[in-house]
């Protein structure tokens, strides 16, 4: 975080600790409410930043307030008024200052209104994920506004320079203001569609942390944790949506195996070779409970199906005991709901385990001609695996070579190379 | 309420396809009427073909004229709407109703127009600084 606080290592500083905690827990809610009050994303963000910066000194001097979030909200609103008064280029400046002063007078009432705060955070999510913003901007803005990551942290996570990421965020905020992207929860007929867009952004953040398509660090845990936090927030705000629960379940079930996916030397460990004892049982239980809640709402969707597939993997005692037939069936259902070559590939791999490598190859071979998958490393890795099991060792070798050439992730590449060497030793 | 300029772009098409589009004229009139009734319509117009365009540039005090649009592209600006909307969502919703948006290669670009009072405030601020 960047509240301007200075922390001496090891020093006992309850005020700084309280500011850090409040920043993590309440910044998004305070920001969301202030955006509604001032009607300007950038102004609200600057004012909230000012308030956190001033909190350290104030709380050291006067002690930590009973309700730190309320203190920050009031301080941020005052900062916003100061900033508005100074800004002479705004046409409706006087009006907006008056409105804020009025709000300040009734701050007690506003603070106790829980439902208004909940609505504000939903408004903020839907605004950050508005389809008029391009996808990378939605992701960055959501992480910045709701996740509380700094621009530098987001830039590092997405392998973009800090100035470039800063520009992306500023541009998005300017478009929100200039194009009048509304600050509201979409109406009923749009809501489902727009919620799908929000879930997509959250899942993209999770995946970026989980599979890290580039670079040396296979797991960027920070992004996974942020995505799960967003998933939990959505669950609290929209508990009647099955896919909200489904996505949360999916993320928790993947995240439970995060530590087992890389070994002590930083090498990728395939699912069937993972140490199942190192999976996080608490997370798994939490994920399964979320999946159950989703299923009970009786509105099937793609995240629920993916979570159910992941649950079957996890619930098997070992790789051999996995219920591949049911997994293949779930992929079939997923393909009907959301046809995509990647889903077909996974179905082929599952069928390969359930009914033998030849049956898997029968489904996979047509995908080799699919232009969308031509440069998709997992297709060639799965192809190699099926050919090896079917006894076609030269074919398997060629497929591994193709997969290795396409791998952008050094950890994954090392794993593919060791499989290829194993094949050559045996052959 | 903010104003939005909706720019209607589409490739120029063969006469047969053009005739099909002309047959849709009642849809356009209906749209314009309903925009008018909803109090959203500020202005609208259909442009003559791009060959009729003249582009003006002033360089070193000299006026230069070019016969044609400022950029030659496959899609040409064929018409426009100026709508007064509550917010971007409303403008996008109206843009999606325009028949051209579903034409092959057709698209509607939605751009917010700077509010006059904002310009006045900027001018006042500049005067104060000076």
Q: Could you please report the per-residue DSSP string of B14-76?
A: -HHHHHHHHTTHHHHHHHHHHHHHTT-EEEEEEPPPGGG-EEEEEETTEEEEEES-SS--SEE
Is residue A66's pLDDT more than 50? yes
Q: Do A182 and B89 touch (CB under 8 A)?
A: yes
Contact: B87, A88; criterion CB under 8 Å: no
Tallying the residues shown for chain A, one arrives at 427
Please name every residue paired with B62 in a beta bridge, in sequence order, or none if there are none. Answer: B59
Torsion angles phi and psi, residue A215, rounded to 5: 90, 180
Chain B residue with minimum CA distance to A178? B112
Contacts of B30 (CB under 8 A, 6+ apart): none
Q: What is the DSSP letter of A316?
A: S
**Mind listing the pLDDT tens digit for each residue in B31-75?**
999 999 999 999 999 999 888 899 999 999 999 998 888 888 889
pLDDT of residue A107: 58
Residue in B3, B83, B89 to test binding to A, most A beta-carbons within 10 Å: B89
Instruction: Identify the residue among A86, A91, A92, A184 best suited for mutation to test binding to B, counting B beta carbons within 10 A and taking the highest.
Output: A91
* Nearest-angstrom CA–CA distance, A45 and A49: 6
Q: What phi, psi does A57 have (nearest 5°)? A: -65, -45
CB B127 within 8 A of CB B16: no
Fold of the domain built from segment(s) B3-129: Alpha-Beta Plaits (3.30.70)
pLDDT exceeds cutoff 70 at A218: no
CA–CA min distance B44, chain A (Å):
20
Instruction: Tell me, yes or no, if B96 comes closer than 8 A to chain A by beta carbon.
Output: no
Distance of alpha carbon A150 from alpha carbon A146, whole angstroms: 11
Q: Which residues are CB-contacts of A141 (< 8 A; sequence separation ≥ 6)? A: A128, A133, A169, A172, A173
- Chain centre to alpha carbon of residue B107: 11
* Strand B41-46 relative to strand B54-59, pairing: unpaired
DSSP, residue by residue, A265-289: TS-B--GGGS-GGGS-HHHHHHHHH
- Is B102 touching A (CB cutoff 8 A)? no
pLDDT digits (tens, 9 = 90+) for A82-114: 988 887 666 677 777 777 777 776 655 555 566
- Do the bridges between strand B107-113 and strand B75-84 make them parallel or antiparallel, or are there none, so unpaired? unpaired
Among A2-6, A52-56, B105-109, which is the least confidently predicted range? A2-6
Return phi, psi of residue A165, to 5°: -65, -40
Mean pLDDT of chain A: 87
Q: Which helix (H) or strand (E) holds A157?
A: helix A151-157
β-bridge pairing B62-67 and B3-11? unpaired
- What is the dihedral sign for C-alpha A73, A48, A138, A293? negative
Query: Where do we find the tokens 């993916």?
Result: A306
Task: Say what the ipTM of the complex is.
Answer: 0.82
pLDDT for A360-407, tens place per residue?
Answer: 999 999 999 988 888 889 999 999 999 999 999 999 999 999 999 998
Residues in chain B: 130
**Spatial distance between the Cα atoms of A214 and A220, rounded to a whole number of angstroms:** 11
Judge whether residue A425 has pLDDT over 60.
yes
SS3 for B8?
Answer: strand
Closest-approach residue (CA) in chain A for B118: A91
Question: Which of B4, B6, B10, B1 minimizes the C-alpha distance to B104?
Answer: B10
Two tokens, residue B113:
């127009």
Best interface-test mutation with B: which of A87, A94, A131, A179 has the largest number of B CBs within 10 A?
A: A179
Query: Where are chain B's structural domains?
Result: 3-129
Q: For residues A123 and A108, give the distance between their C-alpha atoms in angstroms, rounded to a whole number.
A: 22
Range list of β-strands (E), A245-348: none
- Its pTM stands at 0.81
Domain ranges of chain A: 1-112
Digit-coded pLDDT (tens) for B65-85? 988 888 888 899 999 999 999
CA distance A201 to A222: 16
Radius of gyration of chain B (CA): 18
Flag the least confident range among A65-79, A280-294, A311-325, B84-98: A311-325
Mean predicted lDDT score pLDDT of chain B: 91
What was the pLDDT predicted at B40?
97
């Amino acid at each position: 975080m960047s509240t301007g606080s200075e922390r001496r290592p090891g020093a006992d500083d309850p005020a700084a600790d309280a500011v850090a905690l409040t920043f993590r827990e309440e910044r998004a809610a305070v920001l969301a409410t202030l955006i509604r009050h001032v009607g300007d994303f950038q102004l609200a963000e600057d004012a909230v930043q000012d308030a956190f910066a001033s909190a350290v000194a104030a709380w050291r001097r006067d002690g930590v307030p009973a309700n730190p979030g309320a203190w920050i909200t009031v301080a941020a609103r005052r900062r916003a008024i100061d900033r508005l008064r100074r800004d002479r280029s705004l046409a409706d400046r006087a009006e907006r200052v008056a409105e804020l002063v009025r709000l300040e007078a009734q701050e007690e009432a506003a603070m106790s209104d829980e439902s208004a705060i909940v609505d504000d955070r939903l408004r903020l999510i839907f605004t950050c994920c508005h389809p008029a913003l391009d996808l990378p901007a939605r992701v960055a803005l959501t992480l910045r506004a709701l996740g509380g990551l700094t621009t530098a942290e987001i830039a590092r996570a997405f392998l973009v320079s800090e100035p470039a990421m800063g520009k992306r965020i500023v541009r998005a905020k300017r478009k929100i203001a200039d194009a009048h992207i509304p600050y509201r929860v979409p109406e009923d007929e749009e809501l489902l569609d727009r919620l799908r867009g929000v879930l997509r952004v959250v899942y993209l953040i999770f995946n970026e942390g989980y599979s890290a398509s580039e670079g040396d660090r296979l797991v960027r845990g920070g992004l996974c944790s942020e995505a799960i936090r967003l998933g939990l927030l959505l669950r609290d705000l929209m508990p009647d949506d099955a896919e909200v629960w489904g996505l949360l379940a999916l993320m928790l079930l993947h995240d439970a195996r995060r530590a087992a996916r890389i070994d002590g030397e930083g090498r990728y460990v395939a699912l069937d070779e993972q140490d199942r004892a190192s999976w996080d049982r608490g997370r798994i239980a939490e994920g399964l409970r979320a999946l159950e809640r989703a299923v009970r709402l009786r509105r099937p969707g793609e995240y629920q199906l993916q979570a159910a597939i992941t649950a079957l993997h996890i619930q098997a005692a070992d790789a051999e005991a996995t219920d591949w037939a049911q997994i293949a069936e779930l992929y079939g259902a997923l393909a009907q709901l959301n046809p995509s070559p990647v889903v077909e590939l996974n179905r082929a791999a599952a069928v390969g385990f359930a009914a033998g490598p030849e049956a898997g190859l029968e489904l996979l071979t047509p995908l080799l001609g699919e232009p969308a998958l031509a440069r998709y490393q997992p297709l060639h890795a799965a192809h190699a695996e099926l050919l090896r099991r079917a006894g076609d060792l030269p074919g398997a070798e060629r497929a591994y070579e193709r997969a290795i050439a396409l791998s952008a992730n050094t950890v994954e590449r090392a794993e593919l190379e060791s499989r290829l060497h194993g094949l050559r030793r045996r052959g | 309420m903010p104003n939005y300029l909706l720019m209607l772009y589409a490739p120029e098409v063969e006469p047969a396809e053009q005739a099909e589009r002309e047959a849709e004229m009642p849809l356009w009139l209906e749209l314009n009427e309903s925009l008018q009734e909803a109090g959203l319509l500020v202005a609208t117009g259909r442009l003559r073909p791009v060959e009729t365009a003249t582009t003006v540039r002033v360089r070193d005090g000299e006026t230069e004229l070019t016969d044609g649009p400022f950029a030659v592209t496959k899609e040409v600006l064929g018409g426009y709407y100026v709508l007064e909307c509550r917010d971007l969502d409303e403008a996008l919703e109206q843009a999606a109703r325009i028949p051209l948006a579903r034409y092959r290669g057709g698209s509607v670009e939605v751009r917010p127009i700077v509010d006059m009072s904002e310009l006045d405030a900027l001018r006042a601020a500049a005067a104060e600084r000076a």
